[in-house]
């Protein structure tokens, strides 16, 4: 993990995966603590609000060409990692996920080790399908892939 601080492109790649294929596209339910008005719509105190993270992560007014996989969108001009507010992987509202640090560490170690040691591809010659199946979480479609030791 000490070296991960300097792996800016790896961090950007993980962030782009989290953006383009949001694991929890619906986020988590929240309740309004008071009567509020959002874009002219009144919302009563105690109303359940569910943020559609997928819509935020794929919004073309926030992300240029949101359907394209581009880790570079998370790099500053000097090549260092940058995490914009619009990337909402582990929080909705003011609350952070208590497991964010652990999840980030485990994901970082796993991705870095896999990318250092394997080339990933399909068993057949067709391209890997990254579209996923949307439900309460975004799940990969069944397909056979192969990890070839580098």
Helix (H) or strand (E) holding 56: helix 53-57
Report the b/e string of 46-56 with b at 16+ CB within 10 A.
eeeeebebbeb
The topology under which CATH files domain 4-149 is: Cytochrome p450 (1.10.630)
Report the alpha-carbon distance of residue 24 to residue 90 in Å, rounded.
Answer: 9
The domain limits of the chain are 4-149
Does this model's pTM top 0.85? My answer is no
pLDDT in tens, the chain (150 residues): 677 778 899 899 999 988 988 777 777 788 899 999 989 999 999 999 887 888 889 999 999 999 899 999 999 999 999 999 888 876 555 666 677 778 888 888 898 889 889 998 888 888 878 777 877 777 888 888 899 999
134 in a known ligand binding site? no
């Amino acid at each position: 993990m000490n070296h991960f601080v300097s792996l800016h492109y790896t961090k950007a790649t993980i962030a782009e995966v989290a953006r383009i294929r949001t694991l929890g596209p619906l986020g988590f339910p929240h309740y309004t603590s008071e009567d509020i008005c959002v874009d002219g719509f009144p919302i009563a105190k105690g109303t359940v609000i569910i943020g559609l993270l997928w819509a935020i992560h794929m919004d073309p007014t926030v992300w240029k060409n949101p359907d394209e996989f581009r880790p570079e969108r998370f790099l500053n001009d000097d090549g260092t990692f940058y995490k914009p507010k619009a990337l909402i992987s582990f929080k909705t509202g003011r609350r952070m996920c208590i497991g964010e640090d652990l999840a980030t560490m485990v994901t970082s170690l796993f991705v870095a080790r896999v990318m250092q040691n394997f080339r990933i591809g399909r068993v057949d010659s067709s391209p890997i399908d990254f579209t996923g199946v949307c439900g309460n979480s975004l799940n990969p479609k069944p397909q056979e892939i192969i990890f070839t030791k580098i």
